[in-house]
Amino acid sequence: MHPPRILLGVNIDHVATLRQARGTRYPDPLQAALVAEEAGADGITVHLREDRRHIQPRDVRLLAEVLNTRMNLEMAVSEEMLALAEEIRPAHVCLVPEKREELTTEGGLDVVGGFDALVGACSRLAAAGCNVSLFIDPEPEQIEAAVKLQVPTIELHTGAYAEAPVGSQAAQQEHQRLTRAALLALEHGLVVNAGHGLNYHNVEAIAAIPGVNELNIGHAIVARALFVGFKEAVAEMKRLIISGQEAGLVAALEEHDHEHEHGPDCQHRHLH
Ligand SMILES: CC(=O)[C@@H](O)[C@H](O)COP(=O)(O)O
Ligand SMILES: NCC(=O)COP(=O)(O)O
């Protein structure tokens, strides 16, 4: 049986970055969201940062009214953001770490260290009807803590993989780390999403990881849209994700056949 297609969440933060650069009314992230949906986005992701460098609270409120798919609101664990999520009740909330001075989200949430604060935040969000996800590094202890917290979903931070040159040993190592983390999380019954820094050159290998539910991608799509238009940029990404997933399925089948023939300890073929 064919597993469900990997979903694409299109992050529109950087449409707002361009708007905020000049304080204009355009480009409008709402317009981008609707075009992305037309092009096949399965959901729209926005990160309302404390410093409001791109998405604004007004964007989030308006998106909640107009989206045809579903919103994934990325947010820090703060009273202000929890109150907003309780007001808007997005379908998905992804809790992320935030530093004011960072250029972008540098690492995953420390679920182990911040466990006690997360208990209250996750239960408030669940009570508001939100599917809660934790944006974490692909580390076993973070996954175990997410399991203990009883959240339904995690999003694996792919930043370290994305920063490594495509095809390099470092990229392969990060890919292995992500694959092992995804497997562990799936064994625990978590829904596994992934994202950060994914682009048209590195996305297929991530889509090939068995069992991944959704990829959240923003910066690369917005950048590509400058040259091919937003609709085509989303559609191209969607095609790559599907082809990556198909390649992963073929590789898994080959691996399975090989193991069947030569036994599980044979070292001759391994994907990454
Ligand atoms: C959590 C995450 O990975 C994204 O939301 C990303 O952070 C958005 O872009 P910026 O980090 O540039 O705000
Ligand atoms: N959670 C990751 C995300 O939403 C998009 O990150 P990026 O593609 O803008 O790096």
Helices (H), the chain: 13-22, 29-38, 57-66, 79-88, 115-127, 140-149, 159-163, 169-187, 203-207, 219-228, 230-262
CA 58 to chain centre: 23
Percent of the chain with pLDDT over 90: 89
Closest atom, ligand 1, to C-alpha of 94: 1
Beta carbons of 3 and 211 less than 8 angstroms apart: yes
What is the arithmetic mean of pLDDT over 142-159? 98
How far is Cα 141 from Cα 144, in angstroms, rounded to an integer?
5
Q: Which pLDDT tens digit goes with each residue over 8-24? A: 999 999 999 999 999 99
69 lines ligand 1 (CB under 6 A): no
Q: How close is the Cα of 261 to the center of ligand 2, in Å?
A: 41
Nearest ligand atom owner, CA of 17: 1
Among all residues, which ones are annotated catalytic? 47, 74, 196
Answer whether 9 contacts ligand 1 (Cβ < 6 A). Answer: no
Note if the pTM is more than 0.90. yes
* pLDDT above 70 for 256: no
For residue 9, give the ligand nearest its CA. Answer: 2
Atom of ligand 2 nearest to the CA of 199: 8
CA of 2 to the centre of ligand 1 (A): 32
Measure the CA angle with vertex 134, ends 130 and 136; round to 5°: 165
Distances (CA, A) of 28 to 12, 17, 24, 128, 234: 10, 10, 9, 28, 16
**Which residues line the pocket of ligand 2, CB cutoff 6 A?**
11, 45, 155, 195-198, 216-220
How far does the centroid of ligand 1 lie from the alpha carbon of residue 100, in Å? Answer: 12
Confidence band of 5 (pLDDT split at 50, 70, 90): very high
| Nearest ligand atom owner, CA of 203 | 2
Amino acid sitting at position 229: G
User: What's the whole-number mean pLDDT along residues 57-74?
Assistant: 98
C-beta atoms surrounding 222 within 10 Å: 23
ipTM over 0.90 threshold: yes
For 191, phi then psi, to 5°, come to -80, 135
What is the C-alpha separation between 199 and 219, in angstroms, rounded? 8
CA distance 236 to 234: 5
Cα–ligand 2 centroid distance for 265 (angstroms)? 37
